[in-house]
Amino acid sequence: MSHDSRIELTKDGLSLSRLVFGAWRLLDSAARPDADQIARLIGTAVDLGLTSFDHADIYGHYQVEAAFGAGLSRWKGKRDSIELISKCDIILASANRPQNRLKHYDTSAAHIAASVDRSLANLGTDYLDLLLLHRPDPLMDADETAAALAGLVKSGKVRAVGVSNYTPSQFDLLASRLPFALATNQIEMSVLKTNALVDGSLDHAQRLGYAPMIWSPLGGGLLFTGKEGREARVRAAIAAVAAEIGAGDLAAVAIAWLLRHPARLAPVLGTMKPERLAVMVKALEIDLGRQQWFAILEASEGRPVA
């Protein structure tokens, strides 16, 4: 394979599959999958090498974790052959949480502890491999939050801790209070959303040595449907590269574009369709040349590099 199929996240042995199964939209289809269907989907993902499953307490208006947990209980594999990732700190205004008056964040020790306990119960497991703070909370008391996170690791409820959507400055603040390194920063990036290349996020990751996880690695589907100039340009550039290398699928090339980056990006795939997962996994075998990579970047930016 052209790309490593696993990413080492911590020095004491936690690794993720290079491509991560994103459970965000597990319940989004009109026909809500039952536990057996979810168990089969888990099995398919694992068979394709996607052993890491990305959750958040709020996905599906607080319903995805429990549905996934029901599927997991029917799946025949071993708990330690997969990695369960969840997130906390976003508080949704949701019919399922009537006490929440507006969307906000909460990085208090009490909320983090309660949210992790709910995630563990919903997923039917006694530990998370990775817990992420979902969004930077402007009211984060770094001492309090770090102590809560360190306590979760010490208790064994969480193997490693990371963040999501953090700037380097926010990352450095939290990191300054923790007795261990933050394992990742899950950020948005795709051929349609390239600012992480220049805003310092990937410099920071490569300098400190953590591997970023990537959400919306296909631009939320806009790559295939968007009619705007940028999307049409990028689609054409990817199609040209795909033709050149004999790749059948644009999504696999778009994922391979991320895998080419030296900061060791781990894209979170959001499709619930086994056949789409199978196609995207082929990205691991696609090694883009520099001119191919920059041709896609140039199409995205709408101009040659400086």
- Residues that are catalytic: 59
By the rule CB under 8 A, 220 interacts with a second copy: no
Q: Residues 35-74 vs a second copy: string with x where CB under 8 A?
A: ----------------------------------------
- Residue number with CB closer to a second copy (22 or 71): 22
By the rule CB under 8 A, 306 interacts with a second copy: yes
> Which one of 2, 73, 94, 169 is in contact with a second copy (CB under 8 A)?
169
Which of 104, 211, 212, 89 has the alpha carbon at shortest distance from 145?
89
By the rule CB under 8 A, 291 interacts with a second copy: yes
By the rule CB under 8 A, 106 interacts with a second copy: yes
By the rule CB under 8 A, 98 interacts with a second copy: no
- Residue number with CB closer to a second copy (52 or 170): 170
Q: Can you tell me the distance from the alpha carbon of 133 to that of 228, in angstroms, rounded to the nearest whole number? A: 33
Minimum gap (Å) between residue 287 Cβ and a second copy: 13
- Residue number with CB closer to a second copy (35 or 208): 208
Which of 162, 87, 70 has the alpha carbon at shortest distance from 121?
70
Which window, 22-30, 55-63, 195-203, 217-225, contacts a second copy (CB under 8 A)? Answer: 195-203
Q: Can you tell me the distance from the alpha carbon of 162 to that of 149, in angstroms, rounded to the nearest whole number? A: 10
Answer whether 26's CB lies under 8 Å from 62's CB: no
Count of C-beta atoms within a 10 Å radius of residue 179: 10
By CB under 8 A, name the binding residues for a second copy. 91, 100-106, 108, 135, 138-142, 144, 165, 167-170, 172-173, 176, 197-198, 200, 202-204, 206-207, 260-262, 290-291, 293-295, 297-298, 304-306
